[in-house]
Structure 1
Amino acid sequence: MQKSIQEKFNQKFNIFLSKNHLHTILIAISGGQDSICLVNLVENFQKKFGKTINITYIYIDHQWTKKSEEQVKHLINIFEKTKKKFVIYQINQLINSELKARELRYNILTKYSKQHGYKYIITAHTQTDKTETFLQHLIRGTSLNGITSFNEYRKFCENIYIYRPLLELKRKEIKWLCRKSYLPIWSDITNYHYTINRNRLRHELIPYINKYFNHNIDKQINNFLINSKLDNEYINQNAIKLYLHSRHKINIAINYKLIYKQHIALQIRTLQIFFFIIHNKILI
């Protein structure tokens, strides 16, 4: 299994680098098993192919626990062996909100990428993360756009993209690979804080669904998301066509009579496109 995962990663990663003509990449890590596994796969890839890639690893420390400093030292020891650039951002203000913490991380990654000219940010999200994110969005209430936004490639902001090369792997496969490779994994106690909604999903809801409703929930949700993405792309394409056909050639306006004749789903998407182009705001 280890050889198979590494070979699949090598093939996918090589295509990704060649297709985008990349010589510099930024890899965002969390310090957990997924990101340490990604580091191992990337380092093995570079050793095998001898690619001259300028790799920078970046870690954002929220200092949620008393052992945060020890975890940073642990990561420094790992990256000293790789001889790669390792950047650490420490957040002095304690943030208890998962959403606010995520927003802050993304702002830091965006700012750093723009300052240093990185086009792609690579993360270690897995298929299990995709399942958890889907359930979070579903519970909060979302749209077809919302549930299909967690993809292998995603536009992060202007001229910056996120690439998730491990998105086809489940967390248990990552765990197996880490144990097989004797990787130095730091056990993060915050992963078991149930005040964080994702942890409740991970340790309570998903195991419950797997046991009593569907033992392969990751696969089933992934299949649903693939089909939903196709439906969403079809609606978006038709909405773009409708917008181009209904917009005024000179003034900032659209032909509402023409739009009104269409299905409500197309009406909503067309208005969303209109407001985004005119005001750069997403109409929910």
Structure 2
Amino acid sequence: MKKLNLKKNETLIEYFIKKNDITNILIAISGGQDSIYLIKTLERLKRQVSKPKLNLSYIYIDHQWKKSSNTQVKHIISHIKLIKSNMIIYQINKKTLSEDECRKCRYNIIIQHAIKYKFQLIITGHSATDKIETFIQNIIKGSGIESLSSLSIKSKISSKIFILRPLLNLDREMIYWMCKKFYLSIWSDSTNYFYKIQRNRIRQELIPYIKKYLHINIENNIISLINNYHYQNEYIKQNTIKLYIKSQHNKRAAINYKKINTQNFILQIKIIQLFCFHNFQMYLENSKLIKIIYYINIKSIYLSKIISCNNFNFFINKNWFYLNIKKSI
């Protein structure tokens, strides 16, 4: 099973590169076992692929969480020098233990770097274990179905830049086994044991507890659930787009709510969200979405202002649901 998954993993990267004519690749690394194995895989692939010729460059974001950060940076630099490749390091001066803030900052730096230096593909070392931990975090936050299945193998962040997460089908145990097999130097990161970071507590305490006392196959079950949610989410998105196109006004920022209020509640929510984002790149709070759905389901209604949000007003007039900009006084 391990050999099969590993072969599929390498084939996926090669197929994606050739299909999209990728030549310039930016690899985001952390120095942990996932990153070290990813480097090994990509450098081997670089030697095997003759056309197109691959240009690999590595990027490392140093949040300077601990005193040994400089030592870790030196370890990563030494490893990259051994393989004779290029690497850029960004150091974050503002220290924070907020995982959400760090993640947003990290992604912003990586994407801006990719845009500036014209990289076509960003590859990250996220594994199946990361996918499970992210799923649990999103459940705790009360996230919707999109977030529960958001960490996908491939995605597109612009017309010219892709993100690929080729290790998502491999768990940490399998990656650790491969690192040992190839005698790869793994950096032991002490920040993995900072329990103020929620992900660490999930990894070190919650999942082991569930496996020991509740269900030993919890990780496989969560992966199956994530896959199911992915297909459900795709179905909902496709139907939302179809209904939104059918209900649009041909001139104004409006939709025919009579074509919406006969639909399932979740489709009504999604169409209103898409309507707001498509016209004004605006996200509505859940309470305001519920209020809008309530009004568009009332059968007898004449010209009526429903709610205000930021600089916008929402109206219903006859069969149409409108959004317009508030007039300045």
Offset at residue 3 of structure 1 (A):
5.5
**1:10 aligns to 2:14 (yes or no):** no
Query: What secondary structure sits across from 2:254 in the alignment?
Result: coil
Gaps of 5+ in 2: 286-329
Query: What secondary structure sits across from 1:260 in the alignment?
Result: coil
What corresponds to 1:214 in structure 2?
215
Gaps of 5+ in 1: none
| Residue type at the aligned position of 2:23 | H
User: d(CA) in 1 for partners of 2:46 and 2:111?
Assistant: 26
8 A contact 2:5–2:169 mirrored in 1 = no
Q: CA distance change for structure 1 residues 88 and 229 in 2, over 3 Å: closer, same or farther?
A: same
8 A contact 2:59–2:89 mirrored in 1 = yes
What corresponds to 1:203 in structure 2?
204
Offset at residue 9 of structure 1 (A):
2.8
CA deviation vs aligned residue, 1:101-124 (integer Å, no higher than 9, x gap): 111101101210110112321001
8 A contact 2:120–2:160 mirrored in 1 = yes
Which TM-score applies when normalising by structure 1? 0.95
User: d(CA) in 2 for partners of 1:155 and 1:251?
Assistant: 30
User: d(CA) in 2 for partners of 1:185 and 1:89?
Assistant: 21
What corresponds to 1:30 in structure 2?
30
Query: What secondary structure sits across from 1:254 in the alignment?
Result: strand
Q: Which has the higher contact order (CA 8 A, sep 6+)?
A: 1
| Residue type at the aligned position of 2:157 | F
Greater helix share, structure number: 1
After superposition, residues 34-45 of structure 1 pair within 5 angstroms as 34-45=34-45
Offset at residue 157 of structure 1 (A):
5.2
CA deviation vs aligned residue, 1:151-197 (integer Å, no higher than 9, x gap): 11123356433210000001000111111111111101000010100
More off after superposition, 257-266 vs 237-246: 257-266
What corresponds to 2:137 in structure 1?
136
Query: What secondary structure sits across from 1:88 in the alignment?
Result: strand
CA deviation vs aligned residue, 1:225-267 (integer Å, no higher than 9, x gap): 1111111111111111110010001111111122112111110
Query: What secondary structure sits across from 2:245 in the alignment?
Result: helix
- Structure with higher Rg: it is 2
Which TM-score applies when normalising by structure 2? 0.83
Q: Where does structure 1 differ by over 6 angstroms across 4 or more consecutive aligned residues?
A: none
User: d(CA) in 1 for partners of 2:17 and 2:161?
Assistant: 15
User: d(CA) in 2 for partners of 1:259 and 1:59?
Assistant: 47
User: d(CA) in 1 for partners of 2:238 and 2:209?
Assistant: 38
* Root mean square deviation, CA, Å: 1.6
8 A contact 1:34–1:171 mirrored in 2 = yes
Query: What secondary structure sits across from 1:34 in the alignment?
Result: helix
After superposition, residues 85-104 of structure 1 pair within 5 angstroms as 85-104=86-105
8 A contact 1:2–1:180 mirrored in 2 = no
| Residue type at the aligned position of 1:113 | A
What corresponds to 2:321 in structure 1?
none
Offset at residue 35 of structure 1 (A):
0.5
| Residue type at the aligned position of 1:122 | I
User: d(CA) in 1 for partners of 2:282 and 2:26?
Assistant: 28
User: d(CA) in 2 for partners of 1:119 and 1:283?
Assistant: 33
| Residue type at the aligned position of 1:43 | E
Query: What secondary structure sits across from 1:139 in the alignment?
Result: helix
After superposition, residues 99-248 of structure 1 pair within 5 angstroms as 99-156=100-157, 159-248=160-249
Query: What secondary structure sits across from 1:261 in the alignment?
Result: coil
User: d(CA) in 2 for partners of 1:158 and 1:19?
Assistant: 15
